[in-house]
Structure 1
Amino acid sequence: MKRAITTTALWAAFILMAESLKLSEQVVFTKTPTQGQGIVRRYTHELAQDVDELLRIAQDLNLDIWHHDSKQLDIYFPTTTTASLHPALSRNTSYFEPYSEVPSPQLLAQNAIGWNISDLRASTFHLSYHPLYEIDSFLEEMANEWRDLVELIDIGASAEGRKTLAVKIARTDLNKKGKRVKKFAYVIQGAQHAREWIATATALYFANTLVVQKPKSLSHHKLLDHFDFYIIPTPNPDGYEYTWTEDRFWYKNRQSLGSDERCFGLDLNRNWGYQWSEETDFAGKPPKKKLPKDKCSHWYPGSRPFEAPEVVNVATFVSSLKRKMAFLDLRSYGQMLSTPYSYSCHDLPADAEDLLEAAMGAAQAAKKLYGTSIQTGMLCEMLYPAPGNIIDWMYGSANVKSSFAAHLPDTGTYGFSLPPTWIKPVGEEVGKIIDYLAKFIVNQVCSAAIP
């Protein structure tokens, strides 16, 4: 009885807070929700204390916060809560219904015929999203087609025993003395969070642009003059597979948390060992009363850092690389290019000025392509304090100076359900970002070498 009263009070507080957060200013995308489909509600806000309180209520109710920045808050309501909330929250509100349909096996089979990955303009692979087995097939096809450039590396098993593939794309060049030219390592990671399909699709598209040389306008083969690329398209293979078979919007990995636990998985991007914390407070302030950790939470960081085998796999692999100079974590959504730190908005990295300069230049380079506006800044300030983040570990522990997180399009119209027609244009924009950051690094190195 006590639990029921507490939950009722929370819902009442949520409704009151929602009314104060200018619900009439939410963006309308659909008029009538489809039966059986959840909805996303957007709240715009002006007062920081109001949104902080709404965030706390949403966390207490274990609602799925899709996006939170200085201007808006997107919260996903699955069907189990939509029915009870809809009458109370429908007044002066609007919402959008995310597209969650997974391509049928028949459609996938049809698209798999003749991917033609040697021609970016004619290739059909990047016209759709792909399940895990097709991604592996694509990488194997690349390795067979470009044997002198591509090497597949199994970096370790996931929690459910699936292999995690990294693809090394490098060209062997010799100097005038006949010795191999030493190059910098550039690491790119796809979707840590399972539902962020565009992040994995973009990683695959960029990998393709590194091996093809025509057309020149789409190829990034020239970057192999100075860099060896290590791309991990699906660092969370179990979670990604789960989004294709069970829950399109699954977030975490699929790790068992104990034989007596009813929930699975932890948030991989809160499980890294640099400034890890068991706290998962979006408002950035410690709760007045320390509560037991909810293992069912979307943002459960684990009971200790590096608890997730997927995090250990990537960390071990990256630690083995030499001459590490750049890391880019592809994410969704928000159109942002962020620098460390994520764990704190008060601590600045020693290279903060260089990192911001590089991010701003890369954002402008991408904008020239299709006019997409990309915000830049420190990740904590762009979103919220989140300890245990991968770019903090890359910068602070792995000593990768140029570490960035790229939140890909859009700003919420489609959210995590970005249509596949966006894959190529987003891939091209990310290519511009990677290209600019690479040239920025090379220029810095050359400048430092001049006495």
Structure 2
Amino acid sequence: MRVSMQLSLLLSLASSASLVSAIPQHDHQAYKFRPASHSVTADTDSAVDIQQSIHRTPSTWTRLRDSIVESVWGPPQRGRGCEIGTKNQAASRAPATLQARYGEDVVLRFTIKTQDQMKALIDASNVLFLDVWGTHDEWVDIRLSRDVIPSLLGLLPASLQTSHVPLIRDLAQTIYESYPNTSPSSSPSHPSAGTRRFTPSASTSKVSSQSARNVFFQDYQPLSVLLPWMRLLVSMFSSHATLISVGTTAEGRDIPALRIGVRPKNNSQVPPRRKTIVIAGGAHAREWISVSTVSYVAYSFITGYGKTRSITKLLEQFDYVFIPTMNPDGYAYTFSTDRLWRKNRQETSLSFCPGIDLDRSWGFEWNGNSTLSNPCSESYAGDQPFEAIEASHIASWARKEVADNNAHFVAFLDLHSYSQQILYPYGHSCGHLPANLENLEELGAGLAKAIRRSSRETYDVKAACRGIVAASGAKSDESSTLESTAGSALDYFYHDLDVRYSYQIKLRDRGSYGFLLPKEHIVPTGKEIFRATLTMGKFLMSPHILGEDGSEQHNWGNLDLEDDDDEDENDPVAPSTHETLLESQFALSSESDEQNEEIDYE
């Protein structure tokens, strides 16, 4: 009887429309930005729906409602993972420091259909100094503060005011979840110098047997872990791997690289020119997946030598130089201070806006005029070519390798994120066509096929200039770009260093996470690029591609680009005895601090 009366009271209260309309439905009240002339289409969101946390004292009605519900069904069960606002959830929330920096930021995706829309978005982005995350033929992702959304929409035509959707609503929380696991003694707060120590995820208690094989790749690793790991790796495989430095950063760090290859031991004659392939990542500091992927491919080649025919053949024919991060200063800064930092840490004319975009500072077709007066721009190219110290040093190293060490650079892979694209030269202009365009397109298609066979992921293949324009049928020379790509490493290696097979690969994903790709994607991304690297190597081994005369004519049909090693298909980093020892030593030695770590270079 008592229960029946309480239910009747509850239903009676709920039936009052005026009262129910005032009830807060949940703790996180949503608010929406709508353009003045709002229209709903099937292809776009009706509005940008952004969640905003509002903490308030429960009203009298709320307390009465909860009291009735609890008296009928009992208090809610805690610790089942289904309630909102529990202590466990509160403990996993982003700390105040992250909330203060990113708490009001979101990432929006705009669908671009016409050239006029692209131009309008360019102009609005420049006016508001927005952070453009990613671009594709049909969309542009932009990070901005919630309170800037009305201003942006006000600058856009009506067609763009409704052609956008939110990709990341809670940026602070997503950033917090992207950081590596901490040791049990670490502070759970946002990392800062002296307060948070990162260790590899070997400390994670629950990992699968497969994951346990490769503990280094179960999380994103900071520079203080990456450097000791590289040194330990070459100490275990010194027969074909060495640690070198390809330059120095603005803050005085070395730019470490792994040189892998097996050179002929015939000292009676001058060795022939050594064909060399460079695979680099981390030019943009926040693109962590590129650093992990370069490391993964390097590890797979080092540990695969002597175990698989394909890797053994490649290391006998080529030297591979793996540069996990071309921007160590910026990479370290993303762990200590700002997860979304892009540029290097070099001083500029404005003390409060440090940093130069490494991928806009190279000498070929440098054009920094558009950002010359704005060092705060994310794409600031410096005041002159090669002003970015890291780009200048890496270019000097490459030229010295050619002049003094008889190196012949035959391929260059520059890994970035995100959008899943394989881009070939040129980036600065679609009106400047590479001489071996057909070869670049065919090898690019081969790389995309290798990735698709490995993981079923689709990578688009196109010229770098088209990777950043709105494909609306406009002529190439009339297309507007959201950012200048002049002065890129891709164009410099291809044109000035004559590296005929140069590509920029934008890794996963297509925007669901952007630069904050979860750690679960590290190994799958590494595997698919590993497969693509094998395909490139087999392509370059053909005498039709790289003959002694430098001819680049080829017969693609005669090339077997599929790997014939079964062990390669299963697990490119399945551990041997040496690798198991490597992992155990890495787990014991990874507590060393970056500032106290001395790296012995070749």
Residue equivalent to 2:520 = 421
Quote the Cα distance in structure 1 between the aligned partners of 2:332 and 2:40. 37
Q: Does 1:228 align with 2:319?
A: yes
The reply on whether 1:274 has 2:357 as its aligned counterpart is no
Secondary structure of 1:416's counterpart equals: coil
Match of 1:106 in 2: 183
Match of 2:412 in 1: 327
Classify 1:170/1:44 alpha carbon distance in 2 versus 1 (closer, same or farther; 3 Å). Answer: same
Q: Does residue 284 of structure 2 align to residue 213 of structure 1?
A: no
Of 437, 444, 464, the match for 1:379: 464
Matching residue's letter, 1:142: L
Give the Cα separation in 1 of the matches to 2:37 and 2:423. Answer: 29
Contact 2:107 2:142 in 1 (8 A): yes
How far did residue 156 of structure 1 move? 2.3
| Deviation at residue 21 of structure 1 after TM alignment | 12
Instruction: Name the larger-Rg structure.
Output: 2
1:336 equivalent in structure 2:
421
Q: State the alpha-carbon separation in 2 of the partners of residues 231 and 262 from structure 1.
A: 33
Amino acid at match of 1:336: Q
Alignment-derived partner of residue 359 in structure 1: 444
Q: Which residue pairs with 2:388 in the alignment?
A: 308
1:404 correspondence with 2:475: no
State the partner residue of 2:594.
Answer: none
Deviation at 1:214, TM superposition (A): 8.3
Judging changes above 3 Å, is the alpha-carbon distance between structure 1 residues 438 and 33 closer, same or farther for their aligned structure 2 residues?
A: farther
Aligned 8 A contact 1:26 1:43 in 2: no
Task: Determine which of 186, 197, 204 is the counterpart of 2:288.
Answer: 197
2:593 counterpart residue number: none
Residue ranges of structure 2 left out of the alignment (5+ in a row):
1-33, 54-98, 155-160, 185-197, 205-209, 402-406, 469-480, 552-602
Helix, strand or coil at the partner of 1:234: coil
Q: Is the 8 A contact 1:327 1:404 kept in 2?
A: yes
**Could you say what secondary structure the match of 2:175 adopts?**
coil
Distance in 1 between residues matched to 2:121 and 2:38, nearest whole Å: 11
Letter in 2 for 1:106: S
Q: 1:215 to 1:247 in 2, by over 3 A?
A: farther
Distance 1:320 1:29, change over 3 A: farther
Q: Residues of 1 paired with 2:49 and 2:502: CA distance?
A: 38
- Judged with a 3 Å threshold, the aligned counterparts in structure 2 of structure 1 residues 333 and 280 are, in CA distance, closer, same or farther, namely farther
The 1:333/1:17 distance shift into structure 2, 3 A limit, reads farther
Name the % identity. 30
Whether the 8 Å CA contact 2:183–2:203 is kept in 1: the answer is no
Task: Give the aligned partner of residue 114 of structure 2.
Answer: 47
Cα root mean square deviation, aligned? 3.4
CA distance in structure 2 between the partners assigned to 1:227 and 1:218 by the alignment: 14
Q: Which residue in 2 is equivalent to 1:242?
A: 333
Deviations 1:21-67 (A, max 9, x none): 98962699986257615210001021111122112211221100001
Q: Which residue does the alignment assign to 2:572?
A: none
1:61–1:249: structure 2 CA closer, same or farther, 3 Å change rule? same
Q: Is the 8 A contact 1:184 1:226 kept in 2?
A: yes
Q: Given residue 272 of structure 1, which amino acid in structure 2 is its aligned partner?
A: W
Secondary structure of residue in 2 paired with 1:160? coil
Residue 314 (structure 1) shift: 1.1
Instruction: Write the distance in 1 (CA, Å) between the matches of 2:416 and 2:261.
Output: 24
**Number of equivalent positions:** 420
1:178 CA displacement: 9.2
| 3-state secondary structure, aligned to 2:346 | coil
CA 1:124–1:72: 2 relative to 1, 3 Å: same
- Does the aligned pair in 1 maintain the 2:310–2:534 contact within 8 Å? no
The answer for the alignment partner of 1:25 in structure 2 is 44
Q: Does 1:298 align with 2:378?
A: yes
Shift of 1:363: 0.6
Distance 1:269 1:171 in 2: 31
Shift of 1:143: 1.2
Contact 2:305–2:315 (8 Å) recurs in 1: no
How big is each residue's C-alpha offset from its partner over 1:330-351, in whole Å with a ceiling of 9 and x where there is no partner? 0000101010001101110111
**Shift in Å, 1:313:** 1.6
Q: Which residue of 2 aligns with 1:147?
A: 238
Shift of 1:315: 0.7
Q: Contact 2:450/2:531 (CA < 8 Å) preserved in 1?
A: yes
Q: Is the 8 A contact 1:199 1:330 kept in 2?
A: yes
How much does 1:152 deviate? 0.9
Q: Distance in 2 between matches of 1:442 and 1:179?
A: 22
Aligned residue for 2:116, secondary structure, equals helix
Question: Residues of 1 paired with 2:35 and 2:365: CA distance?
Answer: 35
Amino acid at match of 2:175: S
How far does the alpha carbon of each residue in 1:44-92 deviate from its partner, in whole angstroms, 9 at most, with x for none?
0211111221122112211000012210010011xxx323536986985
The alpha-carbon distance between structure 1 residues 316 and 20, as it changes in their structure 2 partners (threshold 3 A), is farther
- The alignment's TM-score, normalised by the length of structure 1, stands at 0.84
CA offsets per residue over residues 301-337 of structure 1, 9 Å max, x none? 1000000111012111222231110000000001010
- 1:58 aligned residue (105, 125, 131): 125
Distance in 2, Cα, partners of 1:120 & 1:148: 27
Specify the alignment match of 1:158 in structure 2.
249
Give, in whole Å, the separation in 2 of the partners of 1:26 and 1:181.
61
1:109 deviates by 2.9
Matched, 1:318 2:398: yes
State how far apart, in whole Å, the 2-side matches of 1:100 and 1:231 are.
27
What 5-or-longer segments of structure 1 have no aligned partner? Answer: 1-14, 282-291
Deviations along 1:380-415, one digit per CA (max 9) or x if unpaired, are 011145110111000110111111000001110011
Letter of the structure 2 residue corresponding to residue 32 of structure 1:
Q
